[in-house]
Structure 1
Amino acid sequence: MFKLLARVGIDGFLLGLIVMVGLAWLLPDFGKSGGYLAMDAITGYGVALVFLLYGLTLPPERMKAGLVNWRLHLLVQISTFGLFPVLAWGAALAFGGKIDPDLMLGFFFLAALPSTISSSVAMTSIARGNVAGAIFNATLSSLLGVVLTPLWVNWYLSSSGASLDLGRVLLKIVLLVLLPIILGQVLRPWVRGWIEHNTKWLKSLDRIIILLIVFNSFSDSVAEGVWAGHGGGFVAQAVGGAAVLFAFVFILLRLTCRALGFNREDLIAGVFCGTKKSLATGVPMAKIMFGASPALGLIIAPTILYHLIQLVAAGIIARRWQDEA
């Protein structure tokens, strides 16, 4: 059973996400901010720890291998920080009146996120694509997202008549994201051996923190009654929107790579890196940007759903391309 789930991209982390959402529905007083478990304090420090771990485990030398393939890099970054936000903005103009504003904000936040490193590289490797190019682009995307994601979200909110305290958000990102990454990179040469022997444990710690943030966010939403009145139609919008977004970008990128004459390896890396969005970055970033907003659970819902869809779909596609190689 677990081998079958793993084959289509569903692992313990995804099951953990489902469990955390379920617990938030059943026990919101335990997970909410200021609740019995003081989850807001735990997750607040946890955000900095997530990015410290990212800095510790990021090998800078792996970036150099894929540096020269500029056409691939340009395609992936334009897709990640250009195509996705434009599509989300177009959807907001077309369907904004029919979709809950917090859910629409969640879709735009998803669109503004960087690509994910681990699954982009893993899927590219499985399909026998350009792994060096995937490592470079996924890593570059994560670093660019530290600045571009809040700038895009601020633009969206401003154009919608809302506001984001951009100065406060950028200061928190510097303190909780940028400085921990830099500190991790500085410390990495001194603790490299220890990191390599504890990679699995560090990855598990990273995922546990993300699960706790999800628990806290959804608990706040449930406790404040944010989900009240949202029935099956709301869920269908969230799932359908995430699925359509992934499918559209995947098909468009594949056609674009072929039109540009990319070889098979670059096409695979371009498609997988250019369609992925990072839950590991998105959940902590949402915590920083939107604080303890009761709507945080709604805002991160599209990111969680997209994460599930991209892993399942990309897992199936990667193995099919592996068989065709």
Structure 2
Amino acid sequence: MAKLRETLNRVGLNTFFFLLIGMIFLASTFPDWGAEAILDPLKTITGIGISFIFFFYGVKLSPEKLKQGLSNWKLHVLVQSTTFLIFPLVVLLLYYFWGDEANLFWIGTFYLAALPSTVSSSVVMVSIAGGNLPAAIFNASISSIVGIFITPLWMDLMLPETAVDFDLTDTIFKLSFQVLVPVILGLFFHKYLVNFVNKFQATLKNIDQAIILLIIFTAFAESFLANMFDGHSVAELVLLGVLMLAFFLLMMGVMYLLSKALKFSREDMITVIFCGSKKSMIQGAVMGRVMFPDPVVFGVMLLPLMIYHAQQLMVGSAIAQKLGDGKSSGQ
């Protein structure tokens, strides 16, 4: 049990995770703080903060390691196809039979499916489970960059049939300016600033997390102020949690079967399972703030992602620990 708690802390189920939950309770308790006059300065801070996050993300990327990771192309194609193709298609299939275009939880679930993979938790879980670590780093990094373009394209396909306002051209322009340009600049300054970033990694991580907490709070505060969660019972939210867990396990199973069909090694299979099934809470928050300027809508749409995020950390870390124990015991 102690080992599992340590693993949960390493992959992100830590103080920051519980602060995320706390932001929702704070927003629900004090919805009046969602008044536009109060939140305007916070929105300006978060806008600058998003570029800050991605600039230093670019600094941390190693161009040499990215080049070295290109050789295992079958694994990369499968992980990226899973992240940006199989995930959305599964949700579209389910939406075709049971979807409701007026239900923002459905749109939020599709947004979750269209997002890139995580970086930190995917890499940590692959390491714990004994997978192909260089391939995990490569795929998680590439996924974050590719998602800047692929995620808006998927949402443009999904949202014309809904009441959510979405402008593809404007969204890609804003994301390029606020996310892609800082990443490219960070890559350019990699050799000059990487030592600085490594030295102050803990401080920079705290700043990143503070920005994410502000985004979560502003989105949910205005959603509660506009009574967007009225009409959603506790039973409905519990059902949403059960469905997100089933969705996560389904996608892990799909990754396993595809890896077996392609005759991947155990190490590569582990990388596919963990990198392919994860979705990034951080990018979901920062990209969503740009893509969905109405925070009232965005707060509701974030809920499926936050539930999925919690479950991928808890269930994923337990599976990673089990796989790691199995390898060390020779199973």
TM-score (norm 2): 0.92
Q: Indicate the residue corresponding to 1:296 in structure 2.
A: 298
Does structure 1 retain, via aligned residues, the 8 Å contact 2:39–2:218? no
Moved more, 265-274 or 99-108: 99-108
Q: 1:162 to 1:307 in 2, by over 3 A?
A: closer
Q: 1:3 to 1:318 in 2, by over 3 A?
A: closer
**Equivalent residue in structure 2 for 1:81, among 64, 81, 84:** 84
Q: Indicate the residue corresponding to 1:256 in structure 2.
A: 258
Does structure 1 retain, via aligned residues, the 8 Å contact 2:102–2:162? no
Inter-partner Cα distance in structure 1 for 2:154 and 2:81: 14
Instruction: Please state if 1:67 is matched with 2:54.
Output: no
Q: Indicate the residue corresponding to 1:90 in structure 2.
A: 93
Among all aligned residue pairs of Structure 1 and Structure 2, give the percentage whose two residues are the same amino acid.
37
Q: Indicate the residue corresponding to 1:171 in structure 2.
A: 173
Does structure 2 retain, via aligned residues, the 8 Å contact 1:214–1:283? yes
Q: Indicate the residue corresponding to 1:57 in structure 2.
A: 60
Q: 1:32 to 1:112 in 2, by over 3 A?
A: farther
Instruction: Please state if 1:21 is matched with 2:24.
Output: yes
Task: Supply the AA of the counterpart residue of 1:42.
Answer: I
Inter-partner Cα distance in structure 2 for 1:90 and 1:262: 28
Q: Indicate the residue corresponding to 1:107 in structure 2.
A: 109
**Equivalent residue in structure 2 for 1:138, among 137, 140, 157:** 140
Instruction: Please state if 1:311 is matched with 2:310.
Output: no
Q: 1:6 to 1:39 in 2, by over 3 A?
A: farther
Q: Structure 1: 5+ residue runs without aligned partners?
A: none
Q: 1:282 to 1:179 in 2, by over 3 A?
A: same
Inter-partner Cα distance in structure 2 for 1:11 and 1:162: 33
Matched residue of 1:67: which SS? helix
What's the RMSD between the two structures over aligned residues?
1.9
> 1:194 offset after TM fit, Å?
1.0
Q: Indicate the residue corresponding to 1:206 in structure 2.
A: 208
Structure 1 segments (4+ residues) deviating >6 Å: none
Task: Supply the AA of the counterpart residue of 1:233.
Answer: A
Q: 1:33 to 1:162 in 2, by over 3 A?
A: closer
1:123-147 superposed Cα distances (whole Å, 9 cap, x missing partner): 0011111001111111111111010
Task: Give runs of aligned pairs for residues 149-164 of structure 1, distance below 5 A.
Answer: 149-160=151-162, 163-164=165-166
> 1:212 offset after TM fit, Å?
1.0
Inter-partner Cα distance in structure 1 for 2:305 and 2:26: 19
> 1:56 offset after TM fit, Å?
2.1
Inter-partner Cα distance in structure 1 for 2:219 and 2:3: 30
Q: 1:48 to 1:319 in 2, by over 3 A?
A: same
1:273-301 superposed Cα distances (whole Å, 9 cap, x missing partner): 00000111110000000013311111111
Moved more, 7-16 or 176-185: 7-16
TM-score (norm 1): 0.94
Matched residue of 2:117: which SS? coil
**Aligned pairs, number:** 324
> 1:207 offset after TM fit, Å?
1.4
Q: 1:4 to 1:131 in 2, by over 3 A?
A: closer
Q: Indicate the residue corresponding to 1:238 in structure 2.
A: 240
Inter-partner Cα distance in structure 2 for 1:29 and 1:211: 18
Q: Indicate the residue corresponding to 2:217 in structure 1.
A: 215
Inter-partner Cα distance in structure 2 for 1:27 and 1:258: 50
Q: 1:147 to 1:77 in 2, by over 3 A?
A: same
Does structure 1 retain, via aligned residues, the 8 Å contact 2:165–2:292? no
1:42-72 superposed Cα distances (whole Å, 9 cap, x missing partner): 2222222221221122222222332211111
Instruction: Please state if 1:7 is matched with 2:7.
Output: yes
Inter-partner Cα distance in structure 2 for 1:38 and 1:228: 28
Matched residue of 2:38: which SS? coil
